[in-house]
Amino acid sequence: MKKGLAIFIVLILILGGGYFGYTKYAEGKRIEAMEEALKGDDIYTGITIDGIDVGGLSKEEAKDKILTAKADELEGKNININVEDKNYTFELKNLDHKMDIDKAISEAYEYAREGELEERYSKLEALKENPLNVVIDKEIDYSHVDDFVAKIASEIDTEAVNAEFSVNNGKITSTESKDGKKLDREKLKKDILDAINNSTETITAIVETIEPEKKHSDLERINGLIGSFTTDISTSSNERKTNIRVSSNSVSKKLLLPGESFNFNNAIGDITAANGYKNAHVLKGGEYENGLGGGMCQTSTTLYNALVRSGVKILERHPHSRAANYVPKGQDCAVWKGSKNLRFQNSYDFPIYIDSSVTNNKVTFYVYGDKTKKDYDISFKSEIVEVIKSETIEKEDPSLKPGERVVDVKGYDGYRVVTNKIVTKDGKVISNKQFTKNYYPKRDTIVRVSTETAGEENPSGDASNSDDAVMLP
């Protein structure tokens, strides 16, 4: 028994030693195999850079292969852009690609080269089932896209051309209008960038049609005179006539589209000698005095009367502080920078054209429009409903000689005036309504008298309000 047990133990020891020795040998072989697989200076198999297989290549070989592949990738690849009836080609090779290829190669090369042997080998084995793709850091300069789009726009974009309207010796003419075009630059740029990234080959650009503000078809509706008015300037000084001519030219040859408004004071601009204005009599606060631009109120009054006879909507109008002598009372229109203005609006659905002439000692304004729509006549009749008599107020002045009288202020009567608007068609009155109410305040005569002859004062209690004007519908 004892001898058999001893033999058994010896056999176990022999077998155990053999197994241990074999295991140690096998482990050594495995380590040798892992070391063999991981050695070398080439990029490991199973690694790609931007989809380009670089496994088994040195760094230099990998770089050459990538550069060649990238050049081939862009060569001959174009994006076709259709712009209406034109075609443009954008070549991808023109893009400035800034690629950090060296960084990508270094990342590919360093894969599974750090760490414990087992860890490195495990990563290497994993490549067989899950290959590694290293993405190159890229920065593409898209400025060429901007330049390309700008070039297309320079060939496509055109300004809309407005129709022009003119009247010469009563003959009405209008030029043709033309649509403009505008390339949608932002949309085209976005589409090109999307096409670059998605390998799209064809793009259709969007071109917007720009309609002119003044179309020939609209101006064709101006077919005749719908209102005019004339005032006499024969008694005016040469300076006053000059001011009327300059101001009339400033507000003439104006085309107003439907709904468009006009501002007289803005249109005449600065009243300066440099703009051609002269010193002439102006009515200010009921008194005549010399001032730059004297006579402009006759221009505004003549224009106002042409406008109301054409049926144009008046937005702002003021009477004078003293009734003008070149139109019936209640039909004047005062202007003064900063306080009084003439503003109106084309309330028709067709354009109107305003013109003037200053000839033969007369100033005339003309309003042209669609006579088929404005096929009636407008006239005005003013009635003085009250005369406010001027009074003479005497004031004692002990400095005067006995019986001496000095007129300080020469007075005039005041008036309350109602103006009716009369509409006739085919010779028949179809409307007769009150249009405006106007108040022209009186001015009393002020006389200084000597103490011996002075009479009793009789002050007027009638307040002055030069802007008492009401425009009725």
CA atoms of 246 and 276, how far apart (whole Å): 7
Alpha-carbon distance values, 369 to 19, 166, 224, 349, 473 (Å): 118, 12, 6, 10, 22
Q: Give yes or no for residue 280 having a pLDDT over 70.
A: yes
For the chain, the C-alpha Rg in angstroms (whole number) is 49
Q: Give yes or no for residue 419 having a pLDDT over 70.
A: yes
DSSP assignment of 390-424 equals: --EEEEE-TTSPTT-EEEEE--B-EEEEEEEEEEE
pLDDT at residue 459 in the model: 38
Q: Give yes or no for residue 470 having a pLDDT over 50.
A: no
pLDDT at residue 469 in the model: 43
CA atoms of 356 and 366, how far apart (whole Å): 6
Strands 132-134 and 47-49: parallel
CA atoms of 303 and 331, how far apart (whole Å): 11
Q: Give yes or no for residue 348 having a pLDDT over 70.
A: yes
pLDDT at residue 466 in the model: 41
Q: Give yes or no for residue 12 having a pLDDT over 80.
A: no
Residue type, 294: G
What's the rounded mean pLDDT across residues 277-301? 78
Task: Retrieve residue 428's tokens.
Answer: 């028949």
Q: Give yes or no for residue 218 having a pLDDT over 60.
A: yes
What's the rounded mean pLDDT across residues 233-249? 94
Band of pLDDT at residue 460, cut at 50, 70 and 90: very low
pLDDT at residue 473 in the model: 31
What whole-number percentage of the chain has pLDDT above 90? 57
Band of pLDDT at residue 21, cut at 50, 70 and 90: low
What's the rounded mean pLDDT across residues 139-155? 88
Tens digit of each residue's pLDDT (9 = 90 or more) over 320-345:
988 889 999 999 999 988 889 999 99
Q: 216, 222, 218: which is closest to 161 by C-alpha?
A: 216
Band of pLDDT at residue 378, cut at 50, 70 and 90: very high
Band of pLDDT at residue 468, cut at 50, 70 and 90: very low
Degrees, nearest 5: CA angle 262-266-269: 140
Choice between 285 and 186, residue whose per-residue pLDDT is larger: 186
- Tell me what the pLDDT averaged over the chain comes to: 86
Alpha-carbon distance values, 199 to 74, 176, 196, 202, 288 (Å): 11, 45, 5, 9, 82
Q: Give yes or no for residue 467 having a pLDDT over 70.
A: no
Report CA dihedral (269, 281, 445, 386) to the nearest 10 degrees.
-60
Q: Give yes or no for residue 354 having a pLDDT over 60.
A: yes
Task: Yes or no: say if 12 and 19 are a contact pair by the CB < 8 Å rule.
Answer: no
What's the rounded mean pLDDT across residues 24-52? 85
pLDDT at residue 67 in the model: 82
The label of the residue with tokens 């000095």 reads 406
Contacts of 174 (CB under 8 A, 6+ apart): 163, 164, 165, 166, 216, 219, 220, 222
Question: Which pTM was predicted?
Answer: 0.65
Question: Per mean pLDDT, which range of 36-40, 75-79, 216-220, 232-236 is the poorest?
Answer: 75-79
What's the rounded mean pLDDT across residues 7-20? 59
Task: Yes or no: say if 101 and 62 are a contact pair by the CB < 8 Å rule.
Answer: no
Contacts of 295 (CB under 8 A, 6+ apart): 233, 236, 239, 240, 241, 243, 244, 247, 280, 281, 282
Q: Give yes or no for residue 199 having a pLDDT over 80.
A: no
Q: Tell me the β-bridge partners of 407.
A: 447
The label of the residue with tokens 């990342």 reads 107
CA atoms of 28 and 246, how far apart (whole Å): 112
pLDDT at residue 285 in the model: 57
Task: Yes or no: say if 462 and 439 are a contact pair by the CB < 8 Å rule.
Answer: no
pLDDT at residue 286 in the model: 52
Q: In what order do the strands lie in the sheet with 392-396?
A: 392-396, 445-449, 405-409
Task: Yes or no: say if 189 and 146 are a contact pair by the CB < 8 Å rule.
Answer: yes
Q: 452, 361, 465: which is closest to 416 by C-alpha?
A: 465
- Helix, strand, or coil here: 464? coil
Choice between 367 and 142, residue whose per-residue pLDDT is larger: 367
Q: Give yes or no for residue 347 having a pLDDT over 90.
A: yes
Long-range contacts of residues 370-374, Cβ cutoff 8 Å, at least 24 apart: 370/221, 370/222, 370/223, 370/224, 370/226, 371/223, 371/224, 371/225, 371/226, 372/223, 373/348, 373/349, 374/226, 374/227, 374/310, 374/311, 374/348
Question: Per mean pLDDT, which range of 97-101, 317-321, 396-400, 442-446 is the poorest?
Answer: 97-101
Choice between 214 and 309, residue whose per-residue pLDDT is larger: 309
pLDDT at residue 455 in the model: 43
Q: Give yes or no for residue 233 having a pLDDT over 70.
A: yes
Domains of the chain: 26-78+92-139 (no CATH), 143-213 (no CATH), 221-375 (no CATH), 377-473 (2.20.230.10)
CA atoms of 92 and 97, how far apart (whole Å): 10
The label of the residue with tokens 């022009």 reads 164
Residue type, 425: K
Alpha-carbon distance values, 367 to 330, 351, 362, 414 (Å): 21, 10, 17, 33
Task: Yes or no: say if 266 and 304 are a contact pair by the CB < 8 Å rule.
Answer: no
What's the rounded mean pLDDT across residues 216-240? 93
Question: Per mean pLDDT, which range of 40-54, 84-98, 146-160, 425-439 is the poorest?
Answer: 84-98
